[in-house]
Structures are given as structure tokens and as C-alpha cells.
Amino acid sequence: MLSTDVEKALNEQINFELYSSYIYLSMSAYFESIDLPGFAHWMKIQNQEELVHVHKLFDYINEREGRVTLTAIEAPQLEWESALDAFQDAYEHEQKVTARVNKIVDLSIVKSDHATNSFLQWFVQEQVEEESSVKKVVQDLKMVGKDGHGLFMLNRELAQRVFVPPADSNA
């Protein structure tokens, strides 16, 4: 059974993961609007990954006899100055997610909630991957600069991303 504090933190993380999903869907719409369908596709895949996170947390809370409580989701940003600006925002957002996950891990340690600590280790590793993948695109965009040919090639590369649900996921 979950402590009240851990349950609350996990529910807040569900909400933040839904917000993350919403951000990436908004970024996808932005990229579609500026004719970068590969970038839009990459963000749709990111959106799907965030929803996997939501479902993992949702199922875990229920498995531990907690109560999932969903709250309002803040409206995401709609426009960015450039593809680089959007990906830099995505990178900063992933750093926020990482910090939040780390705080819940810290709470699980304080509460001696070993099951939650163990469960959250998947998220810790996932955030390493999340930050790394977004940072790579930021670095690529910085190298490309305003070169249309480079942006065209990167757009084609990002269109190749495939959603692969985690082996233990029902998503």
C-alpha cells in the first residue's frame, strides 16, 4: 500500500506526464504548420512515449491499492521561433521531468518504500535516454544552423523514428 505522500507525488507525475504528452503534440502541430513533417513525426512518437509513462504510473498506483486522481492539464505553448527553439524547450522540459522523477525517488527512500523505489528505477533510466535523444537533435540543429539542405536532411532522418513500446508495457 502506498503512503499518502508517495501516492500524491505519483499522481502529480501522471499529470505532468500528460502535460508532457500535450507539449509534444503541440510541437508536432507546430512542425506540421512549418512544413517539417519529419520533425512532426518525431514529436508524435515522443507524445506516445509520454503516454506509456502515464499508463505505467496509472497501473502501478492501482496495483499498490492507491487511488489515481486526474487533474486539469495546463495548455501548452503553441509557437516557437524555430525548430532549434522547440527542441531546446523539449530538452529543458525533459530535464524538469528528470528532476521530478528524482524527487519521487528521494521521497520513496525517505518513506522506506522499496517497491516504489524499484518501480521508479525504470523511469530514472528512461530519463537518461529521453534527455540524450532530445539533446542529440539540439546538437544536430545547431550544426545545421539555417542551412536549408541540412534541415531537409535532418527532417528526413527524424521521419524514420519508430515507436517501440517497452517490453513490459501494454501500450
* CB environment 63-72: b (16+ within 10 A), e (fewer): ebebeeeeee
Grid cell for residue 153: 536532411
Q: Structural domain boundaries of the chain?
A: 4-158
Tell me the fold of 4-158. Answer: Ferritin (1.20.1260)
CA–CA distance, 35 with 44 (Å, rounded to integer)? 15
pLDDT tens digit sequence for 121-135: 999 999 999 999 999
pLDDT tens digit sequence for 37-70: 999 999 999 999 999 999 999 999 999 999 999 9
Global pTM reads 0.93
Q: Measure CA 63 to chain center.
A: 23
DSSP labels, 11-25: HHHHHHHHHHHHHHH
